[in-house]
Amino acid sequence: MKKAFSVLAFTLVSLLVLDSLVALTLNWAERSGRLGSLVQYFDYGRSVPGKLQKWETTPGAGGNLYDVAWRDDQVAESATRFAAETDPNVPVIRSYGMSFVNHIIRKAVEADQTLTWDSHAGPGAPPNFTYAMFEDDRDFRRSGDIAVLGILSSSVPGMAALSNQTWVFEQPAPFTYPIYWPEGDGLRRVDPLVQSATQHRTLAENPSALADWHNQLSREDYFFSWQTFEAIWADKSPFARLVRRSLATSHVDQTKADIANSDDYPYAEVLGRMVATFATTARSDGQIPIVMLIQSNHPGDADVLAVTTAILQEMGILYLATSEHVDPRDPSKFIPDGHYTPEVDQLFAEQFLELIHNLEPN
Partner 1 sequence: MLAYVLLPHKAQNRMLLVASYVFYSAWDWRFLSLILLSTVVDYFVGLRMERETQQIRRKQLLWMSLAVNLGMLAIFKYLGFFADSFQDLIGSLGYEIDPFTLSIVLPVGISFYTFQTLSYTIDIYRRDLKATTDFFDFALFVAFFPQLVAGPIERAKNLLPNIAMPRVLSWEALSRGAVLCLIGLIKKIVIADGLAPSVDAIYSSPDPSRLDIIFATWLFAIQIYCDFSGYTDIARGVSKMLGFRLMRNFAQPYFATSPQEFWRRWHISLSTWLRDYLYISLGGNRGGPRKTYRNLMATMVLGGLWHGAAWNFVAWGAYQGGLLALHRMVVGRMGETGEGVRRTLLAWGLRVLTIAAFFQVVCYGWLLFRAGSFGQITDFTGRLIGLTAAPAGLSIPAPPLAALLGIAFLLFWDALIEISGNVQFYARWPVAVRGALYAGMIYLLAFGATTATSAFIYFQF
The footprint of partner 1 (CB under 8 A) covers 1, 3-15, 17-19, 22, 41, 44-45, 239, 242-243, 245-246, 249-250, 253, 297, 299, 327, 329-332, 336
Q: Report in angstroms how near the CB of residue 247 gets to partner 1 at its nearest.
A: 9
Tell me how far, at minimum, the Cβ of 90 lies from partner 1, in Å.
41
User: Closer CB to partner 1, residue 124 or residue 192?
Assistant: 124
Q: Say if CB 156 and CB 304 are below 8 A apart.
A: yes
Spell out the long-range contacts of 252-260 with Cβ–Cβ below 8 A and sequence spacing 24 or more: 252/167, 252/169, 252/223, 255/157, 255/160, 255/167, 255/222, 255/223, 256/157, 256/167, 256/300, 257/300, 258/222, 259/157, 259/159, 259/160, 259/222, 260/157, 260/300, 260/302
* Phi, psi angles (nearest 5°) of residue 124: 55, 35
Separation between Cα atoms, residue 95 and residue 60, nearest integer Å: 27
96 φ, ψ (degrees, to nearest 5):
-125, 100
Between strands 179-183 and 186-190, the pairing is antiparallel
For partner 1, give the closer residue by CB, 117 or 334: 334
| Nearer Cβ to partner 1 (2/357) | 2
Instruction: Report which residue type is found at 339.
Output: H
| Nearer to partner 1 (CB atom), residue 180 or residue 223 | 223
Length of the chain measured in residues: 362
Looking at beta carbons only, is 4 or 83 nearer to partner 1?
Answer: 4
We find the least distance from the C-beta atom of residue 17 to partner 1, in angstroms, to be: 8
Q: How far is CA 325 from CA 208, 341, 342, 344, 348, in A?
A: 51, 14, 14, 9, 8
* Min dist. Cβ of residue 243 to partner 1 (A): 5
343: left (phi over 0), alpha (psi -120 to 50) or beta: alpha
- Name which of 120 and 245 has its Cβ closer to partner 1: 245
Nearer to partner 1, 40 or 206 (CB): 40
Least gap, CB of 172 to partner 1 (angstroms): 15
CB of 338 to partner 1, least distance (A): 9
Tell me if 165 sits within 8 A of 126, measured CB to CB.
no
Residue pair 275/317 in contact (Cβ under 8 Å)? The answer is yes
Nearest approach in angstroms of CB 262 to partner 1 is 18
